[in-house]
Amino acid sequence: MKDQFVTGVDLGGTKIYTAVADLKGRILAEIKAPTEAGKGIDFVLNKVVATVRQVSKNAGLPEIPAYLGIGAPGPLDPQSGFVYQAPNLGWRDIPLKMLLEQALQVNVTVGNDANLAALGEFCFGDYKGTSNLIYITVSTGIGCGLILDGELYQGADYSAGEIGHFTLEPDGLVCSCGNRGCLETIASGTAIARFAKELAQQGKGTGIVKAAGGLIEGITAEAVSRAAASGDQEALGILDKTGRALGLGFSYIVNLLNPSLILLGGGAMKAGPPLWQAINDELKRRVIKSNIKNLKVFPATLGDRSGLFGAIACALQANRV
Amino acid sequence: MKDQFVTGVDLGGTKIYTAVADLKGRILAEIKAPTEAGKGIDFVLNKVVATVRQVSKNAGLPEIPAYLGIGAPGPLDPQSGFVYQAPNLGWRDIPLKMLLEQALQVNVTVGNDANLAALGEFCFGDYKGTSNLIYITVSTGIGCGLILDGELYQGADYSAGEIGHFTLEPDGLVCSCGNRGCLETIASGTAIARFAKELAQQGKGTGIVKAAGGLIEGITAEAVSRAAASGDQEALGILDKTGRALGLGFSYIVNLLNPSLILLGGGAMKAGPPLWQAINDELKRRVIKSNIKNLKVFPATLGDRSGLFGAIACALQANRV
ipTM of this predicted complex? 0.96
- Beta carbons of A248 and B290 less than 8 Å apart: no
- Beta carbons of A156 and B286 less than 8 Å apart: no
**CATH topology (fold) of A2-113+304-318:** Nucleotidyltransferase; domain 5 (3.30.420)
Q: What does DSSP say about strands A107-112 and A67-72: parallel, antiparallel, or unpaired?
A: parallel
- Beta carbons of B260 and A166 less than 8 Å apart: no
- What pLDDT sits at residue B74? 82
Residue A288 pLDDT exceeds 80 = yes
- Common-topology check for domains B2-112+304-318 and B126-301: yes
Measured CA to CA, the distance from residue B301 to residue A240 in angstroms comes to 46
Q: How many Cβ pairs closer than 8 A exist between chain A and B?
A: 132
Q: What is the DSSP letter of B172?
A: S
Nearest CB among A132, A253, A289 relative to B256 is that of: A253
**Beta bridge partners of residue A5, listed in sequence order:** A22
User: For the segment B160-201, what is each residue's pLDDT rounded down to a tens digit?
Assistant: 999 999 999 999 999 989 999 999 999 999 999 999 999 999
Measured CA to CA, the distance from residue B41 to residue A89 in angstroms comes to 62
- Beta carbons of B155 and A258 less than 8 Å apart: yes
Chain B residues whose beta carbon lies within 8 Å of the beta carbon of residue A255? 162-163, 165-166
Q: Which residue from B79, B30, B55 is spatially nearest to B318, judged by alpha carbons?
A: B79
Measured CA to CA, the distance from residue B125 to residue B111 in angstroms comes to 18
Residue A88 pLDDT exceeds 90 = no
**B245 Cβ contact partners less than 8 Å away, ≥ 6 residues apart:** B168, B183, B186, B187
Nearest CB among B84, B153, B167 relative to A149 is that of: B153
How distant is the Cα of B169 from the closest Cα of chain A, in angstroms?
Answer: 10
- What pLDDT sits at residue A140? 86
Alpha helices in A188-220 (DSSP H): 189-201, 206-211
Chain A residues whose beta carbon lies within 8 Å of the beta carbon of residue B286? 165, 167, 179
Distance of alpha carbon B145 from its chain centroid, rounded?
Answer: 9
Nearest CB among A177, A248, A290 relative to B157 is that of: A290
Chain B residues whose beta carbon lies within 8 Å of the beta carbon of residue A285? 179
- Beta carbons of A156 and B253 less than 8 Å apart: no
How distant is the Cα of B99 from the closest Cα of chain A, in angstroms?
Answer: 24
Domain ranges of chain B: 2-112+304-318, 126-301
| Percentage of chain A lying above the pLDDT 70 cut | 99
| Percentage of chain A lying above the pLDDT 90 cut | 93
Chain A residues whose beta carbon lies within 8 Å of the beta carbon of residue B83? none
Measured CA to CA, the distance from residue B246 to residue B188 in angstroms comes to 9
**B169 Cβ contact partners less than 8 Å away, ≥ 6 residues apart:** B180, B181, B186
- CATH architecture for the domain at B126-301: 2-Layer Sandwich (3.30)
* Contact between A217 and A168 (Cβ < 8 Å): no
Chain B residues whose beta carbon lies within 8 Å of the beta carbon of residue A251? 166-167
- What pLDDT sits at residue A87? 79
- What's the order of all strands across the beta sheet hosting A76-77? A76-77, A82-86, A91-95
- What pLDDT sits at residue A319? 76
- Beta carbons of B288 and A179 less than 8 Å apart: yes
Q: Return phi, psi of residue A188, to 5°.
A: -85, 175
- Beta carbons of A165 and B248 less than 8 Å apart: no
A124-128 long-range contacts (CB < 8 A, ≥24 apart) are A124/A25, A124/A302, A124/A309, A124/A312, A124/A313, A125/A263, A125/A300, A125/A301, A125/A302, A125/A306, A125/A309, A126/A301, A127/A261, A127/A263, A127/A298, A127/A301
**A117 Cβ contact partners less than 8 Å away, ≥ 6 residues apart:** A71, A135, A137, A143, A145, A265, A300, A306, A307, A310
| Distances A205 to A24, A139, A214, A237, A311 between C-alpha atoms, Å | 49, 22, 11, 11, 41
Which residue ranges of chain B lie beneath pLDDT 70? 1, 321
Chain B residues whose beta carbon lies within 8 Å of the beta carbon of residue A144? 256
- What pLDDT sits at residue A235? 97
* Contact between B119 and B111 (Cβ < 8 Å): yes
Nearest CB among B154, B160, B291 relative to A159 is that of: B291
Measured CA to CA, the distance from residue B42 to residue A213 in angstroms comes to 73
- Beta carbons of A286 and B179 less than 8 Å apart: yes
Nearest CB among B131, B156, B177 relative to A294 is that of: B156
- Beta carbons of B256 and A149 less than 8 Å apart: no
Residue B135, H or E segment: strand B133-138
Nearest CB among A156, A161, A256 relative to B252 is that of: A256
Residue A232 pLDDT exceeds 90 = yes
**CATH topology (fold) of B2-112+304-318:** Nucleotidyltransferase; domain 5 (3.30.420)
- Beta carbons of B260 and A156 less than 8 Å apart: yes
Measured CA to CA, the distance from residue A185 to residue A174 in angstroms comes to 8
Measured CA to CA, the distance from residue A97 to residue A109 in angstroms comes to 7
| Distances A320 to A3, A9, A314, A315, B14 between C-alpha atoms, Å | 11, 18, 10, 8, 51
Dihedral of alpha carbons A50, A56, A57, A61, sign = negative
**Confidence grade of residue A196 (pLDDT, cut at 50, 70, 90):** very high
Residue B296, H or E segment: strand B296-299
If you measure CA to CA, which chain A residue comes closest to B155? Answer: A258
Nearest CB among A148, A166, A258 relative to B252 is that of: A166
* Contact between B16 and B33 (Cβ < 8 Å): yes
| Residue B104, helix vs strand vs coil | helix
When scoring A252, A254, A285 by the number of chain B Cβ atoms within 10 A, the one with the most, hence best to mutate, is A252
How distant is the Cα of A222 from the closest Cα of chain B, in angstroms?
Answer: 28
Nearest CB among A163, A179, A291 relative to B157 is that of: A291
Q: Which residue from B288, B277, B276, B278 is spatially nearest to B251, judged by alpha carbons?
A: B288
Q: Residue B151 burial (CB < 10 Å; 0-12/13-18/19+)?
A: middle
Q: Provide mean pLDDT across the span A22-44.
A: 95
Q: What is the DSSP letter of A200?
A: H
- What pLDDT sits at residue A321? 62
If you measure CA to CA, which chain A residue comes closest to B247? Answer: A167
Q: Which residue from A272, A274, A265, A268 is spatially nearest to A299, judged by alpha carbons?
A: A265
- Beta carbons of A157 and B294 less than 8 Å apart: yes
* Contact between B119 and B314 (Cβ < 8 Å): yes
pTM of the prediction? 0.96
Among the ranges given (A82-91, A103-112, A204-213, A295-304), the one the predictor scored with the smallest mean pLDDT = A82-91
Return mean pLDDT, chain A: 95
- Beta carbons of A258 and B160 less than 8 Å apart: yes
* Contact between A311 and A116 (Cβ < 8 Å): yes
